[in-house]
Amino acid sequence: MRPFAYERAADPGAAATAVVDGTDAMFLAGGTNLVDLMKLGVARPATLVDVTRLPYDRIEHRADGSVLIGATVRNSDLAGDRGIRERFPMLARAVLSGASGQLRSMATTGGNLLQRTRCPYFQDVTKPCNKRDPGAGCSAIGGGHRDLGVIGTSDSCVATHPSDMAVAMAALDAVVHLRLAGGGERAMPLHDLYLLPGDTPDRETVLEPGDLITGVELPPPPDGAVMLYRKVRDRWSYAFAVVSVAALVTTEGGGSLREIRLALGGVAPKPWRAHQAERMLAGHRPNRELLLAAAEAEFASARPLPGNEFKIGLAADLIAASVRDLTGDLVGEERR
Amino acid sequence: MTTLDKVVGGAPVRIDGREKVTGAARYAYEYPVPNAVYVWPVQATIARGRVCAVHGGAALALPGVIAVLDSGNVSRLHPADDAELAVLQSADVAYRGQIVAAVVASTLEGAREAASAVRVDYDEQEHDVVLNPGNPRIFSPRKANAGFPGTLHWGDAESALAAAPAGVDATYTTPAEHASPMEPHATIAFWEGETLTLYNADQAPWMSATALAALFGLADGAVSIVADHTGGGFGSKAVPRPPTVLAALAARAVGRPVKVAMTRQQMFPLVSYRTPTVQRVRLGAELDGRLTAVWHDALQQSSKRVEYTEQTVAASRMMYATPNSHTAHRLLQLDVPTPSWMRAPGEAPGMFALESAMDELAYALGMDPVELRVVNEPALDPESGLPFSSRNLIACLREGAARFGWAGRDPAPGVRRQGRWLVGTGVASSTYPVFTMASTATARAEPMGRFVVEIAAADIGTGARTALAQVAADELGVPMDQITILVGRSAFGPAPFAGGSMGTASWSWAVSKVCRALVRELDERSGVVPPEGLQARADTTEDLAAQGRFSRHSFGAQFAEVKVDVDSGQVRIERLLGVFAAGRIVNARTARSQFLGGMTMGISMALHEALELDPRFGDFTNHDLATYHIASNADVRGIEAHWIDEHDDQLNPIGVKGIGEVGIVGTAAAIANAVFHATGSRQRDLPITLDRVRAAMYTG
Ligand SMILES: Cc1cc2nc3c(=O)[nH]c(=O)nc-3n(C[C@H](O)[C@H](O)[C@H](O)COP(=O)(O)OP(=O)(O)OC[C@H]3O[C@@H](n4cnc5c(N)ncnc54)[C@H](O)[C@@H]3O)c2cc1C
Ligand code: SF4
């Protein structure tokens, strides 16, 4: 572990300056991901700028039904917030399905969005990894990749973004608020925060050094929306998603879907909003056949590897099961 | 003596429980040792070859760095049976992750950072790390671990299989697994002249001290191990492992006390693991279920430096009556770390295969799997021809069936649906041999009615300290709180390890013997304790030699109910019920924990644990507890352990068989059998992950 300096930022401007001016400086929030990576030698900052005292620790429910979640709100506080539980239950579910109680009490909104992949080679500095060391090669493609991505990946990297919270936020059309290093502010859909790996898997987001996430805004959910978050994993607690799905639907007379939003975790380098599937399903009364066709269309551009091909079928089954459970309309049409 | 109620057989709380939950109990790394420095290993990044050069200059230039150690500047060790202990003794690299150098520094973090600055040049050679059944170097070892024969036959299994009206022929696999005890391996080492003191995370204080004295060429007794508390081991701390040797070497090199604490990642290559197995089981049976042949072959791996053969087929030799038997181990030595003991070596993987095959046979015969086991109950040990000292497998099966509600079970697979779940139940037998080793103990009466009992036992969280205090209390006829029981120190004299489920069986014998001797001496003095106290010492070597010839084993039966999610293929344990026959249960509270702990580890084995080899690099890709999964609390539902009252007078005087391992044996088969009952597809490869379940249900 490289010796490092620790600073506690007094205000957002000072935080940004410290990171922009410092050599190898990084923001530190809960530290649950960054400090692990420092111990492993994956991250080697010379300075940590602690952002947890900045004034972004509130959850603000607004009159129009939207909510602004501060960047330093702890994951456990987010999951326990009454308004979140009542009006955005899939988000509370998603957060609670991640990590452990101790970790969630430390982890923050901003840190959760920017946590790094769990690809085992990324975390092992003795093995090649393009994300850690551009141009070194990807060990996962020809090696252990069962838990990695099937869509949105590239020949240089197949890592997944591991967050559960971000998947639910993607389905909720979240908007990320930034304070730019230079001092300005910017808001962008969560979807646009993340970059696909392409030839530069080391570039994971559009953020520049010193850009600070200040909060995440969720617009009010559509009237009559029902939603769920379902996480499939290799044990019943304390494991990252093999595949997860965040689903939101509104229905109209006759049981057809007025609106449907689907986001998938565990399959892609970012929370994967299944726009293609959504388009095929909206306006229709869903049945298993149509749902599977929609999933198939969504994954038409998938590039699975031998060890993780099963994720496509699993994701399709989860999409179908989620709509079944949200509409209560497909009982008896489960997978045989 | 007195009329005090006996405490053996009761359920007293752990005498060190309060110390542990308040943090007062000291584990190896926590002893305050003045002037200590820290050693951090540099691990090989190739799987086979030689170290050409270790460049320590950059590391030495960092603040606080005291030394960079490599094979050129540490003490020479004496050859050991376990070549893994030859730490830094040559430039050869036998596996990826091997210790090839180390940094000693004044802080832990400084040592770690400096270790990453050490550059090692290698002459890399091609490695062979895959347990490939087609490898021509596979051979049949003469002996397996614990002295079991490598291969054994009786009758003519091939002919019997060919003639059998019913049978099974199936291949089962189990992956490499890692013990991953809660307390990472840790040591503090310091030298005073030619004596070495080690605070060590250790299951075997006396045996480890003896082994290390030989390794360092020291006089008997020159190595002193202190292991007052050890946070689990499951076999990984039952013999010295490389980190302990490194600490001692480093302490000698720098002339100061040295501390080492493994990170989780370091533990995976350095403190042993369970071999993967590829097992083929063939059973032949009459239509009434009686076995005519048992044929079991297990292919396993070891390192090229050490021939270690897990005794995987051993249980198939004594479990069921059969006139024809062929059981064999085969071994492939690879460029990997040496596998070693992990809870129930042999029985855990072997009984997964045998007990899955028995379930398959029950289906082939249309017979209830409990009854199939009952009709194959042997009168004598089929392997040795010896009578069993006690064998209550049938009682466990019957009691378990009654408690579980097995009666009336519809055997049809894949038909019970509850919403999105398929439901099934399964059963399997458990067994584990009764091992006992000679032990010594000391007991001292002190004025004012107090007693001190000393024995080089290890309490690795099992409750051994408490159980031994109970035994002493009964023998001395005093309440437990008048006894100080001291364990965990090699200086207390010869005693076996906390391993092979033999700890309590062996130690309690010595404790009982020494307490009786002390009582006799006290009686001779009419109970008057002289001011300097009165001491007795006992050794059970001769008592063990005088034991009758019997086949001694624990038995058990485990019943599982699982649900399988048809959306995802996830398996959920709804209930897991074990009934065991393991002789006298000294402490119901700690015994229940042992059984439940074993069964929980069995759940992990069934559903979670797998080290994933990357053949290109030659090591395990998953090497932390986020990626090497063991059962979490949420995976353990409806778990129950019971035991039957078993009186066996052919054991030690207390009548105990040992309970540490039988609980993990058979669990995975019971779960796999339940998954078959639920889904209709057989899972012969562990762990039963959701992708395997999906493949079997939806494409298989
Ligand atoms: C054992 C384990 C299991 C886990 N399981 C799960 C799981 O199942 N599901 C899941 O979703 N997650 C899981 N996690 C991950 C956990 O959710 C993340 O570690 C956590 O959310 C990170 O938040 P943090 O505040 O601790 O981030 P930190 O570690 O402090 O920071 C992470 C990154 O974000 C940057 N950063 C932090 N805040 C800001 C900001 N405001 N603006 C700009 N940059 C910022 C930091 O510089 C750093 O690069 C697990 C973690 C562990 C250790
Ligand atoms: S998948 Fe990405 S993170 Fe993993 S080894 Fe390849 S490049 Fe590195």
State whether the beta carbon of A130 lies less than 6 angstroms from ligand 2.
yes
Nearest to B151 by CA among B293, B378, B311: B311
Predicted pLDDT of residue B419:
95
Give, for ligand 2, the residue of A139, A147, A154 to mutate: max count of ligand atoms closer than 8 Å to Cβ.
A139
Nearest to A157 by CA among A173, A171, A178, A139: A139
- Its sign, for the CA torsion A129, A35, B186, B631, is negative
Q: What is the DSSP string of B579-590?
A: EEE-B--SBHHH
Chain A residues with CB under 8 Å of a chain B CB are 1-3, 39-41, 118, 120-121, 123-127, 139, 142-144, 146, 232-240, 242, 310, 313-314, 317-318, 320-321, 334-336
Contacts of B689 in chain A (CB under 8 A): 234
What are the residues facing A59 on neighbouring strands?
A: A69
3-state secondary structure of B538: strand
Predicted pLDDT of residue A20:
86
Residues B591, B556 contacting (CB under 8 angstroms): no
State whether the beta carbon of A312 lies less than 6 angstroms from ligand 2.
no
Residue A170's identity, in one-letter code, is A
Contacts of B45 in chain A (CB under 8 A): 126
Rounded to an integer, what is the distance from CA A281 to the centroid of its chain?
23
**Distance in Å, alpha carbon of A260 to nearest chain B alpha carbon:** 20
Instruction: Please tell me which of the candidates B265, B631, B690 has its beta carbon nearest to residue A242.
Output: B690
HSE at residue B601, side-chain half, CA atoms within 13 A, is 25
Residue B700 pLDDT grade (very low, low, confident, very high; cuts 50, 70, 90)? very low
- Nearest-10 crossing angle of helices B667-679, B347-365: 30
Which protein residue's CA is at the shortest distance from atom 2 of ligand 2?
A157
Residues B163 and B285: their CA atoms lie apart, in Å, by 9
Contacts of B624 in chain A (CB under 8 A): 123
**Distance in Å, alpha carbon of A281 to nearest chain B alpha carbon:** 20
**Distance in Å, alpha carbon of A51 to nearest chain B alpha carbon:** 24
Nearest to B281 by CA among B342, B372, B351: B351
Nearest to B656 by CA among B546, B554, B578: B554
What distance in angstroms lies between residue A323's CA and the mean position of ligand 1's atoms?
30
End-to-end CA distance of chain B: 69
**In a 10 Å sphere around its CB, with 0-12 CB exposed, 13-18 middle and 19+ buried, how is residue B219 labelled?**
exposed
Which CATH number applies to A5-50? Answer: 3.30.43.10
Instruction: Please tell me which of the candidates A120, A143, A335 has its beta carbon nearest to residue B567.
Output: A335
**A139 vs B698: CB contact, 8 Å cut-off?**
no
Predicted pLDDT of residue A292:
96
User: Stretch B179-204: mean pLDDT, rounded?
Assistant: 98
Contacts of A3 in chain B (CB under 8 A): 109, 113
Instruction: Please tell me which of the candidates B45, B566, B635 has its beta carbon nearest to residue A126.
Output: B45
Quote the DSSP letter at residue B12: P
Residues B331 and B309: their CA atoms lie apart, in Å, by 7
What distance in angstroms lies between residue A119's CA and the mean position of ligand 1's atoms?
15
State whether the beta carbon of A131 lies less than 6 angstroms from ligand 2.
yes
Residue B70's identity, in one-letter code, is D
Tell me if residue B192 is catalytic. Answer: no
Give, for ligand 2, the residue of A158, A195, A196, A200 to mutate: max count of ligand atoms closer than 8 Å to Cβ.
A158
Residues 6+ apart with CB under 8 A from A232: A241, A242, A243, A244, A266, A314, A318, B568, B570, B690
State whether the beta carbon of A154 lies less than 6 angstroms from ligand 2.
no
Residues B55 and B50: their CA atoms lie apart, in Å, by 15
Residue B596 pLDDT grade (very low, low, confident, very high; cuts 50, 70, 90)? very high
Radius of gyration for chain B, computed over Cα atoms and rounded to the nearest angstrom: 26
- Its sign, for the CA torsion A86, A88, A90, A96, is negative
**Four-CA torsion B135, B141, B146, B151, nearest 10 degrees:** 110
Domain boundaries, chain A: 5-50, 226-327
**Distance in Å, alpha carbon of A138 to nearest chain B alpha carbon:** 13
3-state secondary structure of A61: strand
Q: Is residue A195 pLDDT above 80, yes or no?
A: yes
Contacts of B564 in chain A (CB under 8 A): none
**A242 vs B694: CB contact, 8 Å cut-off?**
no
Residues A51 and A15: their CA atoms lie apart, in Å, by 7
pLDDT tens, residue by residue, B275-301: 999 999 999 999 999 999 999 999 999
Predicted pLDDT of residue A18:
87
Q: How long, in residues, is chain B?
A: 700
What distance in angstroms lies between residue B4's CA and the mean position of ligand 2's atoms?
67
Percent of chain B predicted with pLDDT > 70 = 99
pLDDT tens, residue by residue, B117-132: 999 999 999 999 999 9
Residue A19 pLDDT grade (very low, low, confident, very high; cuts 50, 70, 90)? confident
pLDDT tens, residue by residue, B318-359: 999 999 999 999 999 999 999 999 999 999 999 999 999 999
Residues 6+ apart with CB under 8 A from B398: B370
Residue A329 pLDDT grade (very low, low, confident, very high; cuts 50, 70, 90)? low
ipTM: 0.96
State whether the beta carbon of A149 lies less than 6 angstroms from ligand 2.
no
Predicted pLDDT of residue B3:
59
Residues 6+ apart with CB under 8 A from A175: A187, A188, A189, A190, A216, A217, A218, A219
Q: Is residue A331 pLDDT above 50, yes or no?
A: no
Residues B373 and B673: their CA atoms lie apart, in Å, by 14
Residue B1 pLDDT grade (very low, low, confident, very high; cuts 50, 70, 90)? very low
Rounded to an integer, what is the distance from CA A87 to the centroid of its chain?
20
Q: What is the DSSP string of B453-499?
A: EE-----SSSSHHHHHHHHHHHHHTS-GGGEEEE-SBGGG-----S-
Nearest atom in ligand 2 to the alpha carbon of residue A143 is 5
State whether the beta carbon of A49 lies less than 6 angstroms from ligand 1.
no
Q: What is chain A's mean pLDDT, rounded?
A: 95
Which CATH fold would you assign to the domain A226-327? Answer: Enolase-like; domain 1 (3.30.390)
Nearest to B301 by CA among B284, B326, B278: B278
Nearest to B396 by CA among B628, B612, B145, B665: B665
Residue A333 pLDDT grade (very low, low, confident, very high; cuts 50, 70, 90)? very low
State whether the beta carbon of A115 lies less than 6 angstroms from ligand 1.
yes
State whether the beta carbon of A78 lies less than 6 angstroms from ligand 1.
no
Residues A38 and A46: their CA atoms lie apart, in Å, by 10
**3-state SS track over B267-316:** HHHHCCCECCEEEEEEEEECCCCCEEEEEEEEEEEEECCCCCCCCCCHHH
Q: Within 10 Å of residue B193's Cβ, how many Cβ atoms?
A: 6
What distance in angstroms lies between residue B621's CA and the mean position of ligand 1's atoms?
22
Rounded to an integer, what is the distance from CA B613 to the centroid of its chain?
22
Contacts of A313 in chain B (CB under 8 A): 694, 698
State whether the beta carbon of A305 lies less than 6 angstroms from ligand 2.
no
**In a 10 Å sphere around its CB, with 0-12 CB exposed, 13-18 middle and 19+ buried, how is residue A115 labelled?**
buried
Give, for ligand 2, the residue of A133, A138, A155 to mutate: max count of ligand atoms closer than 8 Å to Cβ.
A138
Residues B11, B589 contacting (CB under 8 angstroms): yes
Residues B558 and B668: their CA atoms lie apart, in Å, by 9
User: Stretch B466-490: mean pLDDT, rounded?
Assistant: 98
Predicted pLDDT of residue B231:
97
What distance in angstroms lies between residue B340's CA and the mean position of ligand 2's atoms?
32
Percent of chain B predicted with pLDDT > 90 = 99
What are the residues facing B99 on neighbouring strands?
A: B43
State whether the beta carbon of A116 lies less than 6 angstroms from ligand 2.
no
Residue from A233, A235, A308 to probe the interface with B (highest B Cβ count within 10 Å): A235
Residues 6+ apart with CB under 8 A from B574: B423, B561, B562, B563, B637, B638
| Closest ligand to residue A142's CA | 2
3-state secondary structure of B64: coil
What distance in angstroms lies between residue B76's CA and the mean position of ligand 2's atoms?
42
Predicted pLDDT of residue A22:
77
**Distance in Å, alpha carbon of A46 to nearest chain B alpha carbon:** 13
Q: Within 10 Å of residue B642's Cβ, how many Cβ atoms?
A: 16
**B632 vs A238: CB contact, 8 Å cut-off?**
yes
State whether the beta carbon of A76 lies less than 6 angstroms from ligand 1.
no
Q: What is the DSSP string of B677-689?
A: HHHS----BSS--
Q: What is chain B's mean pLDDT, rounded?
A: 97
Residues A119 and B540: their CA atoms lie apart, in Å, by 54
Residues B344, B665 contacting (CB under 8 angstroms): yes
Nearest atom in ligand 1 to the alpha carbon of residue A239 is 8
Residues A306 and A13: their CA atoms lie apart, in Å, by 48
A5-8 β-sheet, strand order: A5-8, A47-50, A25-28
Predicted pLDDT of residue B643:
98
3-state secondary structure of B226: strand
Instruction: Please tell me which of the candidates A127, A144, A334 has its beta carbon nearest to residue B566.
Output: A334
What distance in angstroms lies between residue B45's CA and the mean position of ligand 1's atoms?
29
Q: Is residue A275 pLDDT above 50, yes or no?
A: yes
Q: Which domains does chain B have, with CATH numbers?
A: 17-26+437-545 (3.30.365.10), 31-126+180-270 (3.30.365.10), 145-176+274-434+550-699 (3.30.365.10)
Peptide bond into B175 cis (omega under 30): no
**B634 vs A127: CB contact, 8 Å cut-off?**
no
Q: Which residue has the tokens 């909720």?
A: A172
**Distance in Å, alpha carbon of B104 to nearest chain A alpha carbon:** 15
Of all residues in chain A, the one with the smallest CA distance to B97 is A126
HSE at residue A276, side-chain half, CA atoms within 13 A, is 14
Q: What is the pTM of this model?
A: 0.98
Give, for ligand 1, the residue of A24, A33, A34 to mutate: max count of ligand atoms closer than 8 Å to Cβ.
A33
User: Stretch B618-644: mean pLDDT, rounded?
Assistant: 97
